[in-house]
Amino acid sequence: MFLHQRRARLATASTAVAVFALTAACSGGSGGEENTSGEPGGSITVLTWRTDLVEDGTFDDYVEQFTTKYPAVTEVKVEGITDYEGEVKTRMSTDAYGDVLAIPGSVTPDQLGDFFEPLGDLAELEKEYRWLNDKSFEGTSYGIPVVGNVQGLVYNTKVWEAAGLTDFPTTPEEFLEDLAALKAADPGIDPLYTNYKDGWPLTAWEYYRGGVSGDPDYVNEMVTWDDPWADGRDHEVIDGLLYDVVAQKLTEADPTTTNWEQSKQLLGTGKIGVMLLGSWAIPQMQQAAVDAGGSAEDIGYMPFPAQANGTFHATAGGDYNLGINVSSKNKVTARAWIDWFNHESGYSESQVGLSPLIDGATPAALADFVDQVELVQMNPAPEGKESLFADVDTASGIVTTDPKFRQKIIDDARSGARTKQQVFDDLNEAWAKGRADVGA
Amino acid sequence: MTTTTTGAPGPSPADADAPAARPSPSGPGRGGGWRQRAVPYLFLTVPVGLLLLLTYLPVANMFWYSVTDWDGLARSKEFVGLDNYVEIFTDPDNVRVFYVSLYYFLASFAQMAIALYFATILSFRVRLKNLWKGILFFPYLINGVAIGLIFLNFLKPGGGLDTVLLATGLDSLVRQWTGDPDIANVTLAAVSVWRYTGLNFVMFLGAIQSINSEIYEAAEIDGAGRWHEFWHIILPSIRPIVGLSFILAISGSLSVFEIPYVMTNGGNGTETFVIRTIWMAFNRNMVGLASAMAVVLLAIVLVVTWVQRRVVPEEEVDLT
């Protein structure tokens, strides 16, 4: 009897071990020896969303340069993740999310400390870096952006020149006239392409807020208003333009069949006049233009068509921020990677973005833009109200960074189911309700 | 084995032998029987263990998430009771997905009619019967994502369908098949019909073929035509299968996913229940609410399955 019992127990135990081994195999990750020496060394795992740069060997070069500088570092394992946001978010429920990683957008400021190692005092780091507010909480920084984006419009210079347009439009009305002129010059093109179906490109529209009025406190003020879509406010200007441009049929005829990859090629070959995207899109569009037999010069960047006090303004902010896994065993090396990446890798310039360093260089493709446009860096939320905007935003049901409500605006502009004013009234009502629910 | 027992520091050999010496109620050979009886359970532990770990535990977790406000990331979850469930049925945007399901539900009637039509025709003597059967069933074998992509290109402006319509002089019928909000859901439901008709067809055909051929002969002698045969013999004989299809259509129309997801991504008023659930969980980071939606869908499917068992007893289904 003992024997049988023991065998049964053994079987149960081995089952448990097998099951455990299976699950362990799934969650294996950062691992490695703990580095207690205080000097960069040992091995680290870096998670990146740039699978393209992993595949074309750019990251191999980065790793080589890094290990040359720090010979004690034995291995830098780079994991490129296609569905970065989704996968990393899932992995963050374990401890195995690498040593260095880009902070996913869904992490709210008050959660930063749960998952990421503090990188230092915000005031101290700000002497060296820009755009740290996003990933800081209560005066402590948890992430440093790898590159800075400005928010403007990427356009095909040839198409605009062919229609005789040389100056940046200064008002939404002028912009609409220009688009009509593009259409008149070549009826076969879509003057503006919304990328409605993929959805996420529409979120770029949100980041003109603050740029239209040139007000760095726009977002902080927005939570004190019941009517952000009232006449003349940034959201009214931005979404009004979206409604008008669609209602005047200056966008793609059937938005449900848009295709992001294809849109790059269409812009590169001059079948699209302009798309509203952050400056991160420039290198991709240039590549598409070159691939289609054009040149990188065919792609230009213009500010949002609105001026405050006679000047264009554009918001600038960090792209993905690099942070350190709070349970990493090799934080020293992880920190060395972040510092090296920002100072010596040359990543920001290669991506036609602004350097996260205050004294960093401006890439050539943005020089013209930066000359004519005043950059606005949004101010952080006041102490104690860090998550207020997100709370109101969610409670209102609008979620400004979600493409859904702009898809709805496009639907209404096409069908005429709601007038522009009705759209704004509904949005204002929802926002006011969100504020009331949160008690802002 | 004996050595392990005697060598073990715990019980002495005498103790170990003691139970065996005692008269055993099940008589001699009890040990062997125990061993034999244990074998199936040993084999079961691994698959059941994995099943518990990978299916039942996550489902149990889902029930727990559905009464919290979890965002998918936070280390703590707040209990919110049934708020999520209330929101599913009160938020107009959430309720709208049920309205979209109606399109697919109504389309399933067209689907059954088409399937029944072909099944009846092919149950009579027809040339190249198996070829027709294969052609009709084939769409069901194609992956839903592939079907979505095929029709995406077929229906886009200037795509296959428009080209055909222009070539045949039916210019007036050309429209934005997924872009026109009035017909977008009809278009997608039609694609769904194209895909699933084959399944219904095979079910109906199987049922029809199980009808005794003598009945037809008797009917023919009595002077019944094809229509009479269909109305008085075929339809009554396959009524359980028609009922089954109808019930499957209810749960099917609620869980529509791939085709609208691939073709319109839920835009232009074509959002279905499952698309909205995914969007809630992964774009809006409202895992609690999304879990509640998943629980609701599970409940609906369970109820429908239960009704199906009541309406169509298992033996009759097996006959097909």
Contact B31 A114 (CB under 8 A): no
- Within 39-98 of B, beta carbons closer than 8 Å to A belong to 42, 45-46, 49-50, 53, 71-75, 91, 93
B72 closest CB neighbour out of A3, A4, A89:
A89
- Residue-wise DSSP of A5-72: HHHHHHHHHHHHHHHHHHHHHHH--S-S----SSSS-EEEEEEES-HHHHHTTHHHHHHHHHHHH-TT
Name chain A contacts of B45, Cβ cutoff 8 Å. 11-12, 15
Asked whether residue B24 carries a pLDDT value surpassing 70, the answer given is no
Please name the residue of chain A whose CA is at the shortest distance from the CA of residue B280: A402
Residue A386 lies in a domain: no
Q: Is A192 left (phi over 0), alpha (psi -120 to 50) or beta?
A: beta
State residue A133's pLDDT score: 85
- Give me the domains of chain B, ranges plus CATH numbers: 93-311 (1.10.3720.10)
Domain of residue A99, CATH code: 3.40.190.10
User: Phi and psi (nearest 5°) for A143?
Assistant: -155, 155
> Which of B122, B269, B134 lies closest to B208 in space, CA to CA?
B122
Q: Are residues A235 and A137 in the same domain?
A: no
Residue A182 lies in a domain: yes
Per-residue pLDDT of chain A (440 residues), as tens digits, is 344 444 444 444 444 444 444 444 444 344 456 777 778 888 999 999 998 889 989 999 999 999 999 999 999 999 999 889 889 988 998 889 999 999 998 888 888 999 999 999 988 998 999 888 888 888 899 999 999 999 999 999 999 999 999 889 999 999 999 999 999 999 999 999 999 998 889 999 999 999 999 999 999 999 999 999 998 899 999 999 999 999 999 999 889 889 998 999 999 999 999 999 999 999 899 999 999 888 988 999 999 999 998 999 999 988 999 999 999 999 999 999 999 999 998 898 888 888 889 888 788 878 888 888 999 988 888 888 888 898 899 889 888 988 999 999 999 999 999 999 999 999 999 999 999 998 87
> Which of B144, B294, B317, B198 lies closest to B247 in space, CA to CA?
B317
Tell me the ipTM for this assembly.
0.78
Q: Are residues A162 and A199 in the same domain?
A: yes
B220-250 pLDDT, tens digit per residue, is: 888 888 888 888 888 888 888 888 888 888 8
Residue A184 lies in a domain: yes
Q: Are residues A284 and A188 in the same domain?
A: yes
Number of other CB atoms surrounding residue B130 within 10 Å: 9
Q: Are residues A70 and A215 in the same domain?
A: no
> Which residue type, as a one-letter code, is found at position A410?
I
Question: B101 CA to chain A: closest CA distance, Å?
Answer: 19
State residue A26's pLDDT score: 41
Q: Is A166 on the interface with B (CB under 8 A)?
A: no
Whole-Å CA distances, A300 to A114, A135, A307, A364: 41, 30, 19, 11
Among A370, A389, A410, the domain-final residue is A370
Number of other CB atoms surrounding residue A59 within 10 Å: 21
Name chain A contacts of B264, Cβ cutoff 8 Å. 197, 256
Q: Are residues A176 and A118 in the same domain?
A: no
Q: Are residues A328 and A365 in the same domain?
A: yes
State residue B241's pLDDT score: 86
State residue B313's pLDDT score: 62
Q: Are residues A135 and A154 in the same domain?
A: no
**How many domains would you assign to chain A?**
2
Residue A292 tokens, joined: 């289609």
Beta strands across the sheet bearing A272-275: A190-192, A272-275, A153-156, A299-302
Q: Are residues A96 and A229 in the same domain?
A: no
Q: Are residues A158 and A195 in the same domain?
A: yes
Average pLDDT on B53-78 reads 91
Residue A250 lies in a domain: yes
Boundaries of domain holding A265: 149-316
Q: How many CA atoms lie within 13 A of B136 on its CB side?
A: 24
State residue A169's pLDDT score: 94
Q: Are residues A121 and A132 in the same domain?
A: yes
| A120 strand-pairing partners | A141
Average pLDDT on B184-201 reads 93
Q: Are residues A94 and A223 in the same domain?
A: no
State residue B149's pLDDT score: 92
Q: Are residues A73 and A174 in the same domain?
A: no
Maximum alpha-carbon separation in chain A: 95
Rounded Cα distance between A77 and B299, Å, is: 45
State residue A364's pLDDT score: 80
As to burial, measured by CB atoms within 10 angstroms (0-12 exposed, 13-18 middle, 19+ buried), residue A371 is exposed
Asked whether residue B14 carries a pLDDT value surpassing 60, the answer given is no
Among A270, A296, A316, the domain-final residue is A316
- Within 234-263 of B, beta carbons closer than 8 Å to A belong to 263
Average pLDDT on B172-190 reads 90
